[in-house]
Structure 1
């Protein structure tokens, strides 16, 4: 206010805490938050109370403002000063539909990464027991699994592989569900 930073206090990062903070603001106020995992939720809660909620790009803010000491209070002051001076690097805030699609795609990516980790664990077991590379294109398709069944392995490792195969099959079901949801969201886009 009037070119000066005014400390407002800490805000509890819960829906009720943010709503209480929002009620203390004016419709003409603008709020700046850094893009973090919960930034879009903060935008949704505070938007009805203020003129605008701006999401700052944390990497660009970091490049602009070199602070030797980093605390939430100092970071908030830096964001306020950058916004007041017109140098705040903003992030585009998606609409709800785009945000939902982003979440679906992110979840799909997580499932794919998890499936890859599980498959790598199976490959690791095979390598640990000097089992040669599968001669089939995919160790996890029907032909690859039949080949895998014929390999000589200790019982505990065979049981671990069986658990991993069940997990891979479960993850395939999750991927199919996510692919269907993503297709529904994107078909008219």
Structure 2
């Protein structure tokens, strides 16, 4: 059997094709219930596109099915249909799987995915820290303070905490500096975790 699975945020449209190319079942399944469908067709082949939420679904299905992940752009280029509906897409995926013509997409290991997520999270924290550093610069500029300050360094923050600016802007400055300090600590924690992940990946 060949399962073409058109994955969406909360549900998937599934087309099941037999060896002769006949559709034997079409069903819309909540993503949370895909495991039940996979067990029912255990040992069959399945294909889904590499969408934003496919990792978890891939891992769930792989416990029971031989899963191929299709490259979304390449599959659209060679798909034998111009129509775009859930049912049509699922059937086309099943057809291409049966004909062994699915352009495959690389599926990173769970360890690589974890490392990527950590790096993305770190980048988000760095961007937020930079945002608050820019707010510090803007606040000082608004009050005529043009001296070179470095809110991203320990020494710079200590110097800034000693500045005298009017209330309530002194409270705002203190808040920005506290946030920068907190984000810096979280970034350092993530750096350690990322280093551990990198060492683990090198050993595998």
How high is the TM-score relative to the length of structure 1?
0.76
Residues in 1 aligned to 2:82 and 2:135: alpha-carbon distance in whole angstroms? 43
Q: Check if 1:113 corresponds to 2:131.
A: no
**Aligned with 1:182 (options 178, 191, 194):** 194
Cα separation, partners in 2 of 1:169 and 1:78, compared to 1, 3 Å: farther
**Structure 1 residues 128-177: Cα deviation after superposition (integer angstroms, max 9, x where no partner):** x16455424x333244331475264x533332332222222111121111
Q: Secondary structure at the match of 2:62?
A: helix
Q: Secondary structure at the match of 1:37?
A: coil
Q: Check if 1:96 corresponds to 2:102.
A: no
Q: Check if 1:135 corresponds to 2:148.
A: yes
Which stretches of structure 1, 4 residues or more, deviate above 6 A after TM superposition?
none
Structure 2: where are the runs of 5+ without partners?
A: 1-16
Residues in 1 aligned to 2:81 and 2:143: alpha-carbon distance in whole angstroms? 53
1:180, distance to aligned residue in structure 2 (A)? 1.0
8 A Cα contact 2:46 2:97, kept in partner: no
Cα separation, partners in 2 of 1:79 and 1:112, compared to 1, 3 Å: farther
- The count of corresponding residues between Structure 1 and Structure 2 is 182
Residue 64 of structure 2: aligned partner = 49
Q: What pairs up with 1:52-67 in 2 under 5 angstroms?
A: 52-65=66-79
**Structure 1 residues 45-64: Cα deviation after superposition (integer angstroms, max 9, x where no partner):** 111211x2122222333454
Residue 170 of structure 1: aligned partner = 182
Q: Check if 1:80 corresponds to 2:94.
A: yes
Q: Secondary structure at the match of 2:67?
A: strand
Q: Secondary structure at the match of 1:91?
A: coil
Residue 10 of structure 2: aligned partner = none
Q: Secondary structure at the match of 1:43?
A: helix
How high is the TM-score relative to the length of structure 2?
0.71
Residue 38 of structure 1: aligned partner = 53
Structure 1: where are the runs of 5+ without partners?
A: none
Cα separation, partners in 2 of 1:84 and 1:149, compared to 1, 3 Å: farther
Cα separation, partners in 2 of 1:164 and 1:72, compared to 1, 3 Å: farther
8 A Cα contact 2:164 2:170, kept in partner: no
User: Could you say what the CA RMSD is over the residues aligned between the two structures, in angstroms?
Assistant: 2.9
